[in-house]
Chains A and B, each alone.
Chain A
């Protein structure tokens, strides 16, 4: 099974910058994720949203990458939001306690609501 390397596109919404993630969040994803996050930061948004709708696999290394993004967001007083996670990965966000620090929503519409 070929690895689906992560592809990330950044788009801006009134409520924040959105990282549209597609592929796998694993050890190969670091460069794409870091570059996209840096791109999103350029407009100095209060909120950065991670769109997981196109993500079908996150492993423990991917969890570590998300922890690193969260640390960056907290250091610059930004709010990190996640949406589009499958039920399984919502469970993983809960047991790792990521959900205590990252607001998790089912879709973009609900994710953008509190910030608008």
Chain B
């Protein structure tokens, strides 16, 4: 993890993770450490960790095709009353997520593959998810609205 930069977005951390299977855990633990000073409620922190892990795994798998030399870049910042985690890979075109909404009964009946939970989990764990991309990068931004969490959600 590199030292945070100062700025209007209040960058908390910038980190780089090699695209190797299992490194999503490293990413989620480093993000958790970076947001420690924000004092997020425990359940909120656990949800954020799951969202970061899933987005990082998606970036390593579909964006960087598990080429270890291609890093996933993660920027953690806290603009205003939000927490933003941007996860960027080196893929091109639209970010690849399984677009099919998971339906457990369909999966149990063999109509859907058992997989395909990543995007569903991410969207369930954070307040907003934005996906952007160009010819050289995909970025998934995860957003938590901090002011809505004062009650301890």
Contacts and interface: CB of A to CB of B under 8 A. Distances in A.
A67 B114 contact: yes
A23 to B, nearest CB: 12
Interface string A21-48: 0001011100000000000000000000
B100 interface: no
A115 interface: no
A59 B54 contact: yes
B25 interface: yes
Interface string B1-40: 0000000000000000000011111100100000000000
Q: How many B residues touch the partner, as a band?
A: 20 to 34
Contacts, number: 71
A71 B57 CA distance: 25
B108 A70 contact: yes
Main DSSP-derived SS at the A contact region: helix
A101 B29 CA distance: 31
Nearest to B30: A1
Interface of B: 21-26, 29, 43, 46-47, 50, 53-54, 57, 102, 104, 107-108, 110, 113-118, 120-121, 124
27 contacts: A1-B22, A1-B25, A2-B22, A3-B21, A3-B25, A27-B21, A59-B54, A60-B54, A60-B57, A60-B121, A64-B113, A64-B114, A64-B117, A67-B104, A67-B107, A67-B108, A70-B108, A71-B107, A71-B110, A71-B114, A86-B46, A87-B46, A88-B50, A91-B43, A92-B50, A96-B102, A98-B104
